[in-house]
Amino acid sequence: MHRLTCRRVVVAGAAAAAGLAAFNPGKHLHAQTQTKPTGVSPAELAKHEKFMRLAIAQANKNPGRPFGSVLIDERSGQVVGEGVANLAASPLFHSEIQAMNAYIAKNGNKGWENLTMYGTGESCPMCASAIVWAGIPRMVYGSDTPFVGQYVPDIHIRVQAIVDASKDIYTSKLLLGGVLANETDKLFEAKGKAKK
């Protein structure tokens, strides 16, 4: 194998091992995150809730897989990309990828450092890796992977494991979960009830 390929295999393997070590399927039967995230000011939380409501609006476009995302430009507070999961069109069309593609269509492949990704669910390893490779420094989500995994098939590797495995190429400025989890959890619970 080439040296670069070897390095990528090692990084991917480390991320998978870290995620599997951190995941305990019996430990989290309910959302790990609390109703109100801690460590943020009331003003910051209000801002995050405002943008999470926009992600929820995206998710409501696909109740069968209620993942919705918005990209916000921190300089202007404007939505610069939005997306909803559309796996019927492509297995790559997760909501975060859709939001990133919408951003690229309008702005090109630049300016990622000014953005925050908001999503109704914690990003899967593919989406978290795309966010890392793009250099989007802030991720905010509602429902966490252990909770979502009860209702929607998911790869149980947490975003923090991807961030930790990417420390040589990525600097996270914010990784915040549980924003409006009481609302996003209900989206995934409704999906689970519809399956029964």
Higher model confidence: residue 99 or residue 27? 99
pLDDT tens digit string along 6-55?
344 334 444 444 443 444 433 333 334 444 688 899 999 999 999 999 99
Round the average pLDDT of the chain to a whole number and report it: 85
Sheet strand arrangement including 115-121: 78-84, 68-73, 115-121, 138-143, 174-176
Residue 88 in this model has a pLDDT that exceeds 80: yes
What is the percent of the chain with per-residue pLDDT over 90, rounded to a whole number? 74
Higher model confidence: residue 27 or residue 82? 82
pLDDT tens digit string along 150-161?
999 889 999 999
- Residue type at 148? V
Phi and psi at 74, nearest 5°, equal -65, -25
CA distances from 172 to 16, 115, 138, 176 (A): 19, 12, 6, 11
Per-residue pLDDT averaged across 101-106, rounded?
98
Give the per-residue pLDDT at 31: 36
Q: Please, which pLDDT band fits residue 92 given cuts at 50, 70 and 90?
A: very high
Give the per-residue pLDDT at 33: 42
Give the per-residue pLDDT at 195: 67
Helix H or strand E segment including 120? strand 115-121
Per-residue pLDDT averaged across 138-149, rounded?
97
Identify the bridge partners of residue 130 per DSSP, sorted by sequence position: none
Separation between Cα atoms, residue 121 and residue 142, nearest integer Å? 5
Give the per-residue pLDDT at 21: 40
